[in-house]
Chain A
């Protein structure tokens, strides 16, 4: 196993982890504070990609597309929260699952109607489309490094927002005890709208920055959504820190498993068995990890303090 490939795959794993974190951060806040199962978070990922991608194509600038996507997703997120999700808070989880499942069907079809079934290709600007040398013979696409940097910046910004500001304090208070926070005079409905809007922007950002690599497609958010669920379960519902650590771990294990597991299996399996078992086992790795963590810590690795 040579170190060049290993470094590249570690970086790829990191990049997947960053995307997962952007999804999981919003999701875990919505779960933690509003106790809402929101499947439609995957739709925000997709809508962010399509809306931001369209802005990028219209303005001819990818960066402008990203910037314009932020207010657009904020509006879409708040509108979805105020029209549908708000009525779901007092309902049980089953109603929430079903209603947001209905939203997924609606959003997927709406995107198909507006943008057509083929999806959307968003090219990268030239200055992001290169390959950079990292020394020691390792080269890596510039854009993937940009994704990692953006993700780390957003993570740091969220850390500041949640840990150091007044609104963050309210969010944390809501996450550990919603009723008590409400009783102490926090405007819970307004807080919910803001949190949901932030979550929608983060999911949209994740969808948009991955689009130049994968292109925007209908239903693209759903696989990521399920991975983000795994991340949240591992990290502990309501914990941003847990979501960050679990995202990176999940991203690394998934990526490294896919590229090196068959090599590893070769050590104790015959060649053809290792070759066929490799992809099968590696696609299951993170779920096995999740099951193992749940077995020992059903509340996840980093449950927020004081949460019931």
Chain B
């Protein structure tokens, strides 16, 4: 257990154990509320892990990543609205659509760099946001209630069951971290990281980095789409707000707060971010006035995020 000697890994392990045990511990201490809170945190964690894949390892600052939450969520919501609750139709469609939109948006935005890339991903995401606002049939601003969760058609696995719902989210969180671990430590991941540090050099040794980036962009889009379909199922509600641009900003912040380009950083980032907002919001109605400057300070003075603060200097890469 050498890895646990690193405080950052220790922190990660504690967070994961909390996630795993909450449905048993929370009712025992009479705080069932935390089951809901942690389920939400895990869903954001999946989305943050997916963003970290392109932003942390690929250097692609997407300011419209929350749009895939919306795509995944609205696919489930709209299908349910029309009476299609079969998960075997809903889920593949949600995943396929997220991937397709990511392919189109990626193909357009990856032609640009730097500031342009940030603004274009933002603008494309807002386009879908405004589309959802203008869709009167599906509730416009007010959002869409989902009467029934995705139905897998088997008796032993129903998302209507609280435990099943919670551990499904937990399983997807673990899976998303595993997928990004496999990707990052493969040839694919090496090329992504190499292209982040020097794109021209990687291209000149004969690697078409555009294709690799686009592939990563699509994988991240799909992963975040899954977070969206989980969110729709968990909350039984979708609204344009779930893909409005502040959500994308919050996702970026979760990744940076936890520690960019670290495997579990985004998960711990989502955990600390949402717990902190929960605590501050309970404290004062005007919690943004503390949270905003906190954000600025983290950016200015704690660039490595929590992982950076907890990792001894000698072990940092």
Q: Is residue A94 contacting chain B, with contact meaning CB distance below 8 A?
A: yes
What residues of B have a CB within 8 angstroms of the CB of A113 in the complex?
A: 286, 289
Which of A84, A87, A108, A233 contacts B116 (CB under 8 A)?
A: A233
Query: Cβ of A180 < 8 Å from any Cβ of B?
Result: no
Range of interface residues on chain A? 35 or more
Binds A, one of B83-91, B119-127, B160-168: B119-127
**A130 contacts partner chain B, Cβ-Cβ < 8 Å:** no
Interface centre among B55, B130, B135 (most CB of A within 10 A): B130
Q: Are the CB atoms of A233 and B111 closer together than 8 Å?
A: no
A226 with B289: CB separation less than 8 A: no
Do the beta carbons of A287 and B127 come within 8 Å of each other?
yes
Q: Are A226 and B122 in contact (CB under 8 A)?
A: yes
B242 on the A face (CB < 8 A): no
Q: Which of A107, A283, A295 contacts B111 (CB 8 A)?
A: A295
Against B, the Cβ 8 Å flags (1 = close, 0 = not) of A38-55 are: 010000000000000000
A291 at the interface (CB under 8 A from B): yes
How far, in Å, is A85 (CB) from chain B's closest CB? 10
Instruction: List chain A residues, Cβ under 8 A from B127.
Output: 283-284, 287-288
Q: Which of A87, A102, A284, A295 contacts B130 (CB 8 A)?
A: A284
A118 to B301, CA, bound (A): 35
A168 at interface, CB cutoff 8 A: no
- CB contacts under 8 Å to A, within B126-171, are 126-127, 130-131, 133-137
Type the 1/0 row for A89-124, where 1 means its CB is closer than 8 Å to any CB of B.
Answer: 001011101110111111111101100000000000
User: A98 touching B295 by the CB < 8 A rule?
Assistant: yes
Q: Do B295 and A105 touch (CB < 8 A)?
A: yes
Contact yes or no, B299 A106, CB < 8 A: no
**For residue B120, which residues in chain A have a CB less than 8 angstroms away from its CB?**
233, 290-291, 294
Q: Are A97 and B300 in contact, with the CB atoms below 8 A?
A: no
User: How long is the Cα–Cα vector from A105 to B246 in the complex, in angstroms?
Assistant: 9
Dominant secondary structure at the A interface: helix
Across the interface, do B299 and A98 meet the contact criterion of CB distance under 8 Å?
A: yes
A interface footprint on B168-209 (CB within 8 Å = 1, 0 otherwise): 000000000000000000000000000000000000000000
> Which of B116, B119, B291, B293 is within 8 Å of A298, CB to CB?
B116
Contact of B114 among A39, A93, A101, A110 (CB under 8 A): A93
Contacts of B118 in A (CB 8 A): 37, 93, 97
Determine if A226 and B245 form an interchain contact, defined as CB atoms under 8 angstroms apart: yes
- From the candidates A93, A99, A283, A298, name the one contacting B300 in the complex (CB within 8 A): A99
With both beta carbons as reference points, the residue of chain A lying nearest to B114 in the complex is identified as A93
Distance (whole angstroms) from the CB of B174 to the closest CB of chain A: 27
Bound complex: CA of A276 vs CA of B135, how far in Å? 8
Check B292–A291 contact: CB distance below 8 A: no
Neighbouring B residues of A104 by C-beta, 8 Å? 292
The 8 Å CB contact of A105, one of B122, B134, B288, B300, is: B288
- If A94-B61, A94-B252 touch, whether A102 touches B134 (CB-CB below 8 Å) is no
Of residues 206 through 236 on chain A, the ones whose CB sits less than 8 Å from some CB of chain B are: 222, 226, 229-230, 232-233
CB pair A232–B119 under 8 Å, yes or no, is: yes
A contact residues around B116 at 8 Å (CB): 233, 237, 294, 298
Chain A residue at minimum C-beta to C-beta distance from B296: A102
A97-B63, A113-B286, A283-B133 given as contacts; is B292 within 8 A of A230 (CB)? no
The chain A residues found within 8 Å of chain B, CB to CB, are: 31, 35, 37, 39, 84, 87, 91, 93-95, 97-99, 101-110, 112-113, 222, 226, 229-230, 232-233, 237, 276, 279-280, 283-284, 287-288, 290-291, 294-295, 298
4 additional contacts (CB under 8 A) given A93-B61, A105-B292: A98-B249, A106-B289, A230-B119, A287-B127
Residues of B within 8 A of A (CB): 55, 61, 63, 108, 111-112, 114-116, 118-120, 122-124, 126-127, 130-131, 133-137, 245-246, 249, 252-253, 256, 286-289, 291-296, 298-300, 303
